Amino acid sequence: MTTTLLFRYDAYLREAEATVLAHTPEGGIVLDVSIFYATAGGQPGDSGLIVWAGGRMPIATAVKVEGGLIALVPAEATALPPVGSKITQRLDWHRRHRHMRVHTALHLLSVVIPLPVTGGQIGADKGRLDFMMPEPPTDVAALNTALNLLIERDLPVTDTWISDAELLANPQLVKTMSVSPPMGQGQIRLVRIGQGEAQIDLQPCGGTHVARTAEIGRIEIGRIENKGKQNRRVNLLLVD
């Protein structure tokens, strides 16, 4: 028994029905299907609301629990919907969509700075990638221009799936050194930016993304921080 991850198939789905499978000891609500992304890979879990016959509850976040399940974490202590009950899930869409914009922008950042990634984090207003970069970039303005030109090209963002064996045979697909793609489930999701000769990026990723790069809007590189002898943290801000 696992939770079907509806956001994997449609990141724009804002509302969906579900059945409560269980409650966790910590008070989480385990569902059979979820539009809520569960915290992972530097992307925060989604927030929102659930409604059922006789009740409603704000959701603070979603987390992964044992066995391939997702549990929704209530924002306040109150009576949980009974196991077996039907609920309606509703996303805080504004927050989710900003996560999608930032996440796709960070993939583009890894294109204009083609260095190994040692860490990353996604927020609703900004994100960051840590690079194996002994010296900071000398021309931040040029990086800003390159990023925004990629966004303006309005490239499609799509996904595909490969096997564990195919990923092992193509290790160059993995840019992030600190987080390994989940293996042992039979398939690994790849996120592609651009198509055919216009493809600019292809890497394993389980997060949510916008459908086209123009949807990101204008971005700006913020502070570049020293995080050790070999590492630099590059912050990225949503401008609009």
Residues of the chain with pLDDT > 70, as a percent, come to: 96
CATH for 4-91 is: 2.40.30.130
- Sequence-separated (6 or more) residues with CB below 8 Å from residue 202: 173, 190, 191, 192, 193
Write out pLDDT tens, residues 18-42. Answer: 999 999 999 999 999 999 999 998 9
Q: Parse the chain into domains and list their residue ranges.
A: 4-91, 96-238
DSSP string, 73-102: EESS--PPPPTT-EEEEEE-HHHHHHHHHH
pLDDT of residue 140: 95
pLDDT of residue 86: 98
Write out pLDDT tens, residues 197-230. Answer: 999 999 999 999 999 999 999 999 999 999 888 8
Mean pLDDT taken over the chain = 93
Write out pLDDT tens, residues 167-206. Answer: 878 877 887 766 666 655 668 889 999 999 999 999 999 9
Write out pLDDT tens, residues 142-156. Answer: 999 999 999 999 999
Model-level pTM greater than 0.85?
Answer: yes
CATH for 96-238 is: 3.30.980.10
Euclidean distance between the first and the last CA atom of the chain, given in angstroms as a whole number: 41
Write out pLDDT tens, residues 78-109. Answer: 899 999 999 999 999 999 999 999 999 999 99
Q: Which helix (H) or strand (E) holds 19?
A: strand 15-23
